[in-house]
A and B are shown apart, each in its own frame.
Chain A
Amino acid sequence: MSRPRQILAMGGGGFSMEAGNVLLDEHALGLTSVDCPRVCFLPTASGDADHYIVRFYRAFAAGRCQPSHVSLFRRDGGAADLAGHLLQQDLVYVGGGSVISLLGTWSAHGIDRMLRAAWEAGVVMTGLSAGSLCWFEQGMTAFHGESKPVAGMGFLPFTNAVHYEDKPERRAAFLSAIADGLPAGYGTGDGAALHFVGTELAEVVTSRPNARAYHVAPDGAEVKETELSTRYLGAPLAVEPALAA
């Protein structure tokens, strides 16, 4: 049975950013179609921060899934066969942090090639922020000050900007980069996630009723930003915006 290639690219959300809101993380687990999926966390973009790894194991407790992590800063003691370990997963979850450090480190360890093989074999890929940008042809990073495009691994032939609505300067920088010739792509707000099957956008899911995502494309000399329809993953009555406000 062959599994489709899937990527769930979060603008910002999940256990890293939405304590107590399990909607996006549960959705990622659900995409595996496995009862107790094997989930491997890659905290590389944070420098394998201990507190982040602990939070992952709290959010992805054994019982609900079979969690593991790969630390590239402390490889002694970890899985010796990284490629094999990644291929055996149902879900690979990439944490946030510095996308430049992330991709540099991955490339030095050959993780980019291993992830591509795992993705092609049907292992679901997910992540937020740097862990979302990395899957695209190019991503907008503002990690080092000014927002600028950086090359990702190119599994998805689009561009991507995260924390899109929450950091207005990123939106402005993305729009102006597209106007200057950056290829078309997506602006993804916190609480929104792009679900790709193969390289096609299947749907946009959200962990917050008001989270948004946009398709951004050049339109003549202008830039066209199109709001995408979203599906809120929570029960419609559970979080009434009126009550929350």
Chain B
Amino acid sequence: MGGGGFTAGPDDPALDEHVLALTGVPRPRVCLLPTAGGDSEAQIRRFYETYPDRLCEPSHVSLFRLGHRPIPLREHLLAQDAIYVGGGSMVNLLAIWRAQGLDEILHEAWRGGVVLAGLSAGSMCWFEWGVTTSSGHPAPAPGLGFLPGSNSVHHDSEPARRPVYRDAVRGGSIPPGWAVDDGAALCFRGTGLAEVVTARARAGAYAVDAAGEHALEPRALERPDARTATIPAVAELRSLRAARAGGLRD
């Protein structure tokens, strides 16, 4: 996700809902990794508000508080249906994950069919390269490289990233990739882009190469409005989506 979803504030319920649907499981286990935000209490609280028990089995792993809350990291993460990575500092995120061996665990989880989701730093981390503001100003930074290519986020809301990303791709210092607006998300099946989904009108994603930006055709997600719709309708919608997404787990 280029931005949006629950950690962004006003919330894009359709994106949050889509993460659950991609698991193909009726009541998926979803684990938040709030590492990039320094395990911010606010981010953790919003996660549990967005993903209540009736929709899923939510949990989170605070790497900064394992001292008070020990947890078998590998077992817990491999047992998830989806892992949701919050935003924050991409440089810190990757440094801490590597120091704690999370990079290998997440790769294993992904290979095992756990859906990996996230926004901002939690999106760019999966690619070979991202454009981070971890040092105060936008600059390319290497990611985990599960997905080939590069990714830049907040394309619409943080225009300062654009020239940095475009120039880095054009100059060849980082590979071509995708720029994503807030409220839009890239969905990869394996390492191939399956579709672009959006939760906001006018949100989009762009393929970026040496020649420039090329807008991609998005699919607008239906707003789930779980709070006002009747619960059976929501359940039906979710099971339909789940069935449709079932093939993603291989």
Contact = CB atoms under 8 A, between A and B. Distances in A.
Contacts of B242: none
Contacts of B88: 73
B66 A144 contact: yes
Nearest to B39: A47
Interface in B179-235: none
B100 A49 contact: no
Given A47-B62, A98-B67, A108-B91, 13 more contacts: A46-B64, A49-B38, A73-B37, A75-B134, A75-B135, A75-B136, A97-B64, A100-B100, A101-B100, A104-B98, A108-B92, A108-B94, A144-B66
B96 interface: yes
A105 interface: yes
Contacts of B95: 104-105, 107-108
Interface residues of A, number: 27
B63 interface: yes
Interface centre among A72, A101, A107 (most CB of B within 10 A): A101
Given A47-B64, A76-B136, A109-B135, A104 B99 contact: yes
A47 B38 contact: yes
A57 interface: no
A17 to B, nearest CB: 13
Interface in A107-145: 107-109, 142-145
A150 to B, nearest CB: 9
B140 to A, nearest CB: 14
Interface of A: 45-49, 72-78, 80, 97-98, 100-101, 103-105, 107-109, 142-145
Contacts of B37: 47, 73
A80 B99 CA distance: 25
Given A98-B64, A104-B99, A75 B70 contact: no
Contact of A73 (B62, B67, B92): B92
Nearest to A104: B99
Q: 8 tightest A-B contacts by CB? A: A47-B38, A104-B99, A108-B95, A47-B64, A73-B38, A104-B95, A143-B67, A47-B39
B96 A105 contact: yes
A101 B70 contact: no
